[in-house]
Amino acid sequence: MQLPAFPSSLLPALGHIMRPLVRLMLRKGVTYPRFAEHLKRLFVDVAEREFGLDGLPPSDSRISLLTGVHRKDVKRLRGGQELDEGDLPENVSLGAHLVSVWLNTTPFCLRPGRPQPLPRLASVGGGCSFDALVAEVSKDIRARVVLDEWLRLGIVRLDEQDRVHLEAMAFIPQHGFEEKTAYLRHNLHDHACAAVHNLTEDAEPFFERSVHYDSLSVASIEQLRERVSEDGMRMLIAFNQLAAELEAHDLPSADQRQRMTIGLYFYTEPSSPTGSDPTKADRP
């Protein structure tokens, strides 16, 4: 079997995508041999899961041919521990759910998107307290445990009246590397899945658009940063409210349940002096 030649533009594009990830690995002490072994396992895992024939799992020889990984290593890696492809960690998914309720559900918000400061204790605020908010989502975890963790992460603050204020309009930890890593994994994975789908599938493409300029001043960048922060968060809160309303009425069977991610990002860096002509809008 002869494998098709890959497009000449693919490797440079993948290298460009990997550059910030390599920067992250070097800053956090992940060496090339360590990552190369993990990447080898990943190649074998994807080939095993997604490149079978006639509904049957591929043989070691076929995986070796597809991936270029030596057959001896394929056999070793197929018998090892499975790669972690699970959902967001429980503490992160619970936190996101709590913030969604705080943003969208009375009496915890003045109106959708306007969370109220909540008295910390139910003995003071009753059904409109932080204790009540946590109890709305889970009866198995104490509100004090959630509060202490959220104070550590910078998600909430306490005022002099012992009221809890939501500092981030979505579950975005200000501190806590493990929590931030969970969102790195989730958000970049789903963005990459949408982009790969649009490149490789004949089905309806996922929405993936961006706007970019390369000749702006620092002052203009700051103005855009503030505008994206305000309008972008307003848009995400509106999508969050709609998704919460739809989920409350949906009753899909277990095999019909769908998950989705909607994202928005902003990035800036100095323009290359030899950069190409500015392009106003980018489309896949």
Based on the fold, state whether residues 94 and 154 are members of the same structural domain: yes
For residue 33, being part of any structural domain is answered with yes
Q: Indicate the residue among 85, 101, 127 that finishes a domain.
A: 85
**Burial environment of residue 74 by CB neighbours within 10 A (0 to 12, 13 to 18, 19 or more):** buried
> How many folded domains does the chain comprise?
2
Q: Tell me the three state secondary structure of residue 161.
A: coil
For residue 217, being part of any structural domain is answered with no
Q: Indicate the residue among 43, 63, 85 that finishes a domain.
A: 85
Instruction: Return d(Cα 262, Cα 264) in angstroms, integer.
Output: 7
pTM of the model: 0.67
For residue 135, being part of any structural domain is answered with yes
Residues 235-278: pLDDT tens digits? 988 898 899 889 888 989 988 999 999 998 899 999 877 544 44
| DSSP label of 53 | B
* Domain enclosing residue 34, as ranges: 1-85
Residues 25-34: pLDDT tens digits? 988 878 898 8
| DSSP label of 232 | I
Neighbour count for residue 66 (Cβ, 10 Å): 18
Based on the fold, state whether residues 80 and 4 are members of the same structural domain: yes
Q: Indicate the residue among 85, 102, 135 that finishes a domain.
A: 85
Kindly provide the residue ranges of all beta strands, DSSP E only, lying in 153-209, ordered along the sequence. Answer: 156-158, 163-166
For residue 148, being part of any structural domain is answered with yes
